[in-house]
Structure 1
Amino acid sequence: MFFGKRGAKRIFAACMAVLFMGSVAGCGASSSENGIEIPGITGNGQSQTINVDYEVPQQVPNILVDQVGFKPDSEKELLIRAKELPTEFQIRNLETGEVVYEGKLVKPTFDEKTGEYTAIGYFTELKEEGNYYASADIVGESYAFSISETVYTDLFNDACKKFYYNRCGIALSENLAGENAHSACHTIAAHLQDEPSVEIDVTGGWHMDEQADRDTVVGCKIAENFLLAYELNKEAFTDETGIPESGNGIPDILDEVRYEVEWLLKMQDPKSGGEYGAALTDNTKGGDLFSYPVVVTPVSMDSTICFAATLARFSFFYQEYDPDFARECLRAADKAWNCYVNNQKVLESSGAFNAAAQLYRATGNSSYDQILQAFFEKRDFLELFNTDENIFLGSVTYLSTNQKVDMDLCGKLMKYLMQRSEDIALKATQSKYLVADYDSENIYASILFNMRCLTITDYIIYNHEYTTIVENHAHYLMGMNPDVTNYVTEYTERTYVDGQKPGILNNPSYDSLFVFMLSILVKE
């Protein structure tokens, strides 16, 4: 991002600080490395030199904004925290410092837990595209931000394309991948962990971590998030994100999911129909990460039932593009289902509920509906709906199927969904940061799962308030949080890199949920 004259001033100030430290510490070392030598007296009266080490704490603004920015027509807000809150704020042009908007602060709040005084400022009326920063008397200035029609579109495409960069088994060209380009990796045959003499071709799929491991359960969950996001917000997904399949007439998100699905098919045991758990790289012999041998873990029942659900869901959406491949996926899902029911107690597994919902929608087979009805009759179903991802996703699928359904039951499911969404919305509106569960132990997972719920509800029963709440959570993740940190991208003034923390787009599971969250904002 271009920071103009104001950004240049910050760079100049930082350079002057470095020069000053160098003059104190002398040539070859800074005071932060060697400390400051202070004359002192020992207990026996002898003089000594005391070496004092210290670290200057990093100062961050007390005006919090989304450092990535806002769309021209969306609601825009900032948060100010200060013991003595001002009553007004200004938005200034980043390059000239000229005031382009003045507003009043509202919702003054005192948080007894943190001891913070906060207030919110709205500047929704400012719609002109450009780069800005906020200021207020006593408090100071915010980090820079932009107003742009493409602020979410660019971010959305980056989040989607991360999965192309994570592809295993193929070469990534500089033309499409830039600095992420590399030659084909892990192309040699893998070995089964429990039968090392057996070789298996498991090329393909997405790397899930820095060790370039690939996990079937994680891959299935990510693919399901993408497929559901596509179902709800098709217009958000294009065929031009810059992957090898772009321009083939199929939305790129489905091309990306197919790449993972083709790997998942290779991970299915052809005899039993069970799904192997993971393809792990073996670094015990050293060498280059991309050439590590690969070991395939044994068939896992969790992987098998997740595979059945994902392949059934994929076949349903992909039949209009490639009917033959869709049928192959549905047969594989059915085979995995049979493997699972022959080895597990179906009604004790929430994964079976989700798989039955996907298979019922894809086939209309009443045997799957019978499984669903048995789950619906459980006394703790409402609790499961609110706490178990498989029950939640399977219920959403039941609501959207074209097959025969119990309308009274659909009414109950809608009531559950609305209540869950209203609880999230209420928490968000009562929060000083405008988000639900901001003090949750795992804040990012909580935010992303909550926003998936709101996005689903917003699709079924459109509510502009829900869209605004989703957008506020995006603002939180990109700077309007207690750490004043952008946890999504690397190109703003303070990001997760500064705190040496992993970014959301660097976690494939979080990235897929972030794509889900942005899909409702991109289509607006």
Structure 2
Amino acid sequence: MIFRNGLVLLLTILLTNIAYAQTGSARIQLNQVGFYPAAPKLAVVTGTTGATQFSVTSADGRTTFYTGKLSSEKSSKYSSTVTKTADFSAFKKSGTYVLTVPGVGTSYPFAIGAGVHADAAKAVLKAFYFIRSDMPLEAAYAGKWARPAGHPDTAVLVHPSAATNLRPAGTIISSPGGWYDAGDYNKYIVNSGITMGTLFAAYEDFPQYFKTLSVGIPESGNAVPNILDEAVYNLRWMLTMQDGADGGVYHKLTNASFDGMVMPGATKEPRYVVQKGTAAALDFTAVTAMAARILKPYAQSFPGLADSCL
């Protein structure tokens, strides 16, 4: 009987602590991933409140580590929302915490630590692997999201909007590789432009960091940073989207209509390259210029690729 009562008490405490840690007030908004110890740390409290102070406590709320004063109430010029700010930048101790405002509630848990954004950085970069178009995602790299290859795009039709004398409508070209777009199975040069530019700029700004960041893709372990491996997968597709006869760049590779909610390997509709455009040509030029510069030191891994981007 004593054992059973003790077990019930223990379970009650555990469940209470879990609920406390997982149920946060939507009125207290902060970075739920976390903060670096020496970085600025802010939370925004929305809605009218008479509270003037806040506290940073352990995730179970039992230990208070830091208290501070809320800012004065501020109004938005563009909505009826009023806010107060909690600045706890001075608190630098590593751990997992919640922020509490009397009368408002408790935030969702957040962490403070030296490598607090490491998992998020890996997840963001690994996301590009999951939207590769024409290769199977193997369980060794994709885990439970493994799937067969999607569109091979080795027999793509030139759409009437993109037809020329040398490539009339219906001409078949090969344009494999690349990433699917955010919400469909098409592949866009302009959308790729901002993404490729962001990845290349990130590598140039933080080369030492990205040289050590491995995210578990098929290329991991080669002599190339994973961020460049992933960019090259899309770059090789982009190069196929230029018409060698006139230098123009097709806007996108697409179905005539969007696919339904099906896996990529299940779609069998014809695919097209559509009208060339200035935006596509400019994005293509900017990306290939960056690629020529950034990939030059990796000529042994990518023979001729940097030169082909000039």
Query: Structure 1 length as normaliser, TM-score?
Result: 0.49
Aligned equivalent of 1:249: 223
| C-alpha distance 285-132 of structure 1, shift in aligned 2 (>3 A) | closer
Aligned equivalent of 1:129: 94
Match of 2:30 among 56, 65, 68: 65
1:6 aligns with 2:43: no
1:302 aligns with 2:302: no
Residue 99 of structure 2 aligns to a residue in which SS?
strand
1:264 aligns with 2:238: yes
Match of 1:312 among 280, 289, 301: 289
Aligned equivalent of 2:134: 169
Residue 178 of structure 1 aligns to a residue in which SS?
helix
> Aligned letter for 1:233?
F
Contact 1:281 1:294 in 2 (8 A): yes
Root-mean-square deviation over aligned CA pairs: 2.7
Aligned equivalent of 2:305: 325
Q: Structure 2: how far apart are the matches of 1:284 and 1:91? A: 48
1:192 aligns with 2:191: no
Aligned residue pairs, count: 282
Aligned equivalent of 2:52: 87
| C-alpha distance 197-114 of structure 1, shift in aligned 2 (>3 A) | closer
| C-alpha distance 112-301 of structure 1, shift in aligned 2 (>3 A) | closer
> Aligned letter for 1:7?
I
| C-alpha distance 79-211 of structure 1, shift in aligned 2 (>3 A) | closer
Residue 304 of structure 2 aligns to a residue in which SS?
helix
| C-alpha distance 4-250 of structure 1, shift in aligned 2 (>3 A) | farther
Aligned equivalent of 1:209: 182
Residue 75 of structure 1 aligns to a residue in which SS?
coil
> Aligned letter for 2:17?
R
Shift of residue 115 of structure 1? 4.7
Aligned equivalent of 1:234: 207
Shift of residue 174 of structure 1? 1.6
Segment drifting more, 80-89 vs 158-167: 80-89
Contact 2:159 2:170 in 1 (8 A): no
Residue 86 of structure 2 aligns to a residue in which SS?
strand
Q: Structure 1: how far apart are the matches of 2:118 and 2:147? A: 26
> Aligned letter for 1:210?
G
> Aligned letter for 1:247?
G
Unaligned 5+ segments in structure 1 are 14-58, 331-524
Shift of residue 231 of structure 1? 1.6
1:107-506 matches, cutoff 5 A: 107-111=72-76, 114-187=79-152, 188-194=154-160, 195-238=168-211, 239-282=213-256, 289-290=264-265, 291-292=267-268, 293-322=270-299, 324-330=304-310
Contact 2:134 2:151 in 1 (8 A): yes
Shift of residue 192 of structure 1? 1.3
Segment drifting more, 232-241 vs 276-285: 276-285
Q: Deviations over 1:115-169 (max 9, x none)?
A: 5543222222333332211112222222221223222221112111111111111
Contact 1:211 1:289 in 2 (8 A): no
Contact 1:79 1:119 in 2 (8 A): yes
Q: Deviations over 1:396-425 (max 9, x none)?
A: xxxxxxxxxxxxxxxxxxxxxxxxxxxxxx
> Aligned letter for 1:326?
A
Shift of residue 284 of structure 1? 7.9
Q: Deviations over 1:270-310 (max 9, x none)?
A: 22222122110345898854333321113333322321221
Q: Structure 2: how far apart are the matches of 1:114 and 1:224? A: 34
Q: Structure 1: how far apart are the matches of 2:276 and 2:17? A: 58
Contact 1:4 1:94 in 2 (8 A): no
| C-alpha distance 223-61 of structure 1, shift in aligned 2 (>3 A) | closer
| C-alpha distance 113-260 of structure 1, shift in aligned 2 (>3 A) | closer
Q: Deviations over 1:160-190 (max 9, x none)?
A: 1111111111111122122332111111422
Shift of residue 314 of structure 1? 0.6
Aligned equivalent of 1:373: none
Q: Deviations over 1:71-108 (max 9, x none)?
A: 22222122224434322211111135322222222344
| C-alpha distance 298-120 of structure 1, shift in aligned 2 (>3 A) | closer
Contact 2:25 2:106 in 1 (8 A): no
| C-alpha distance 122-9 of structure 1, shift in aligned 2 (>3 A) | closer
Contact 2:53 2:69 in 1 (8 A): yes
Shift of residue 244 of structure 1? 1.4
Residue 237 of structure 1 aligns to a residue in which SS?
helix
Q: Structure 2: how far apart are the matches of 1:211 and 1:285? A: 7
% same residue:
28
Aligned equivalent of 2:71: 106
Residue 66 of structure 1 aligns to a residue in which SS?
coil
Q: Structure 2: how far apart are the matches of 1:135 and 1:198? A: 64
Q: Structure 1: how far apart are the matches of 2:26 and 2:52? A: 17
Contact 1:91 1:100 in 2 (8 A): yes
> Aligned letter for 1:327?
D
Shift of residue 110 of structure 1? 4.2
